[in-house]
Amino acid sequence: MTKPRILVTRRWPEAVEARMAEVFDLDLNGTDTPLGEADLRDAMGKYDAILPTVTDRLPAAVFDRPSARTRILANYGVGFAHIDTEAAKSRGITVTNTPDVLSECTADIAMTLMLMVARRAGDGERELREGRWSGWRPTHLIGTKVSGATLGIIGFGRIGQAMAQRAHFGFGMKIIVQNRSPVPADVLARYGAVQVPAIDDLLPLCDFVSLHCPGGATNRHLINSRRLDLMRPGAFLINTARGEVVDEHALAQALWFGTIGGAGLDVFEREPHVPAELLGADNLVMLPHLGSATRETREAMGFRVLDNLMDFFDGKTPRDRVA
pLDDT over threshold 80, residue 218 = yes
Contact (CB, 8 A) for 315 and 28: no
Q: In what order do the strands lie in the sheet with 72-74?
A: 25-28, 5-8, 49-51, 72-74, 94-96
Task: Evaluate if residue 98 carries a pLDDT over 90.
Answer: yes
Mean pLDDT, rounded, for 90-114: 97
Determine phi and psi for 213, rounding to 5 degrees. -100, 165
Please report, to the nearest 10 degrees, the dihedral formed by the alpha carbons of residues 257, 281, 175, 111 taken in order. -170
Residue 175 sits at the vertex; the CA angle it makes with 171 and 176, to the nearest 5 degrees, is 160
Q: Do 89 and 63 meet the contact criterion of CB atoms below 8 Å apart? A: no
Give catalytic status of residue 271 as yes or no: yes
Q: What is the mean pLDDT of residues 5-30?
A: 97
Determine whether 289 is an active site residue. Answer: yes
Would you say residue 24 has pLDDT above 90?
Answer: yes
37/77 Cα distance (integer angstroms): 19
CA 46 vs CA 50, 85, 90, 175: distances in Å: 10, 20, 19, 49
Q: What is the pLDDT of residue 66?
A: 87
The pLDDT score that the predictor gives to residue 26 is 97
Omega before residue 59 within 30° of 0, cis: no
What's the pLDDT tens digit per position in 230-250? 999 999 999 999 999 999 999
Q: What is the mean pLDDT of residues 90-115?
A: 97
130-189 pLDDT, tens digit each: 999 999 999 999 999 999 999 999 999 999 999 999 999 999 999 999 999 999 999 999
Which residue from 8, 58, 14 is spatially nearest to 28, judged by alpha carbons?
A: 8
DSSP state of 54: T
pLDDT at residue 321, as a whole number: 98
- Taking 80 as the threshold, does the pLDDT of residue 20 lie above it? yes
Taken in order of first residue, the domains within the chain and their CATH numbers are 5-101+295-313 (3.40.50.720), 103-286 (3.40.50.720)
Q: What is the pTM of this model?
A: 0.95
Q: Which of 91, 220, 221, 289 is catalytic?
A: 289
Averaged pLDDT for residues 65-81: 95
Residue 1 predicted with pLDDT over 80: no
Residue 194, beta-bridge partner list:
176
Q: Taking Cα atoms as reference points, which of 248, 300, 277, 286 lies closest to residue 77? A: 300
Q: How many Cα atoms occupy the beta-carbon half-sphere of 318 within 13 Å?
A: 25
Q: Point out the catalytic residue in the list 82, 242, 298, 304.
A: 242
**Percentage of the chain with pLDDT > 70?**
100
Neighbours of 5 (CB within 10 A): 15
Catalytic residue status for 242: yes
Is residue 253 pLDDT above 90, yes or no?
A: yes
User: Choosing from 37, 104, 127, 271, which is the catalytic residue?
Assistant: 271
**What pLDDT is stored for residue 298 in this prediction?**
98
Residue closest to 260 by CA, chosen among 204, 317, 322? 204
- Mean pLDDT, all residues of the chain: 97
CA distance 314 to 317: 9
